[in-house]
Amino acid sequence: MPNHALLSASSSHRWLNCPPSARLCEGYDDKGSDFAAEGTDAHALCEFKLRTALGMEARDPTEDLTWYNPEMEECANGYAAFVLELVEEAKKTCPDPVVLIEQRLDYSKYVAEGFGTGDCVIIADGTLHIVDFKYGRGVLVEAEDNPQMKLYALGALELFDCIYDIDTVSMTIYQPRRSNISTYTIPKADLYEWADHVLAPTAELAFNGDGEYRCGEWCQFCKAKADCRERANANMDLARFEFRQPPLLTDEEVEEILGRIDDLIAWASDIKDYALQAAISGKHWTGYKLVEGRSNRKYTDERAVVAAVKAAGYDPYEHKVLGVTAMTTLLGKKQFNDILGGLITKPQGKPTLVPDSDKRPAMTNIITEFMEEN
């Protein structure tokens, strides 16, 4: 049995928006990444912490975790505590809620060969609650209308809807390194309607390699993103602006470019990385060559360096206060707040232009203040 479905829940945001990308990605090796390996370790630790907290038998995986560190320990403890709070809340209306950890969830009723693994599933009177742990600190993941979470929920309903009287589905993303706990709740009937009218027909297109290619932020994790013709066409379309200087563009043209420039930068970076990796593998690009990049000098043996410098009568160490993140890791969040809470300030961030959909409040600038006062 394969470990990953072709139409996996984790990649559903991509194949629901770009159905043929599912089959296209089959031709690419899964290279993995340090981020993925780190996430796998964090999930293993979370499972152990949660099982232990619930009084279940579990083996401590810590010594086998390559990426284990105090931050991971703290995040796993926080996750276990959060789930325990949900369970205690469920007990207020249901004396014996069901809690399942790392549960295989089959949603193949709507998606051919579709299955995934739910980090935690809680079933209580009337409500099914799915909790998904995200260890990544890069992309903020929201639960609202999240297709991965909805697929997990459909898989859980397939198991329990006929046993329990479920009418509401609640889905939570727990992302500690982004201080993000996001919950989305919908009626079960609405979830089934989406499954029948949106999910199932789109999944059929994706499984058959049909449908239209579409570019968007979902391209970020696509294996074919570097040499996808549709993505290239979409980004090269900006060439019609002829690289005119900003003052020569209309406001409408600037707004259109702003909406697409991040994708253009990401695409250009992907092309450079793709070309570099191909060259390392032996590909010759006309007009280009591989050269050795710059490097910095480094010590061959730090302990020997320390001994030699001390023997010469000097202090080989630099002394400075740990940064806020490093100090938090050293002390732990609670002790950090107890000891240093009154000595921390957060200066105003540098102005950044973002789409209106960004959840951060708009800055009040000098011109706005003047207009409001008058």
The closest of 90, 149, 152 to 117, measured between CA atoms, is 152
pLDDT digits (tens, 9 = 90+) for 271-323: 788 888 888 888 888 888 888 888 889 999 999 999 999 999 999 998 888 88
- The pLDDT tens digits of the residues spanning 116-164 come to 999 999 998 889 999 999 998 888 899 999 999 999 999 999 998 888 8
Nearest-Å Rg of the Cα atoms of the chain is 25
Q: What is the pLDDT of residues 60-92, one digit of tens each?
A: 999 999 999 989 999 999 999 999 999 998 888
Whether residue 1 is predicted with pLDDT greater than 50 in this model: the reply is: no
If you average pLDDT over every residue of the chain, what do you get?
87
∠ Cα 113 116 121 (to 5°): 135
Q: What is the pLDDT of residue 54?
A: 92
* Residue 248 confidence (pLDDT): 75
Q: Which residues contact 127 (CB under 8 A, 6 or more apart)?
A: 90, 166, 167, 168, 169, 170
Mean pLDDT within 41-51: 95
Cβ burial, residue 326 (10 Å; 0-12/13-18/19+): exposed
The ranges assigned to domains in the chain are 12-208, 225-280, 302-342
Would you state the pLDDT for residue 302?
A: 92
What are 346-374's pLDDT values in tens digits?
A: 888 888 888 887 777 887 754 455 455 55
| Region 315-335 average pLDDT | 85
Q: Strand, coil or helix: what is 185?
A: strand
User: How do residues 179-235 score in pLDDT, each as one tens digit?
Assistant: 899 999 999 999 999 999 999 999 999 999 999 998 888 888 888 888 788 888 877
For residue 3, the model assigns a pLDDT of 57
**CATH class of the domain whose range is 12-208:** alpha beta
Residue 264 pLDDT: 78
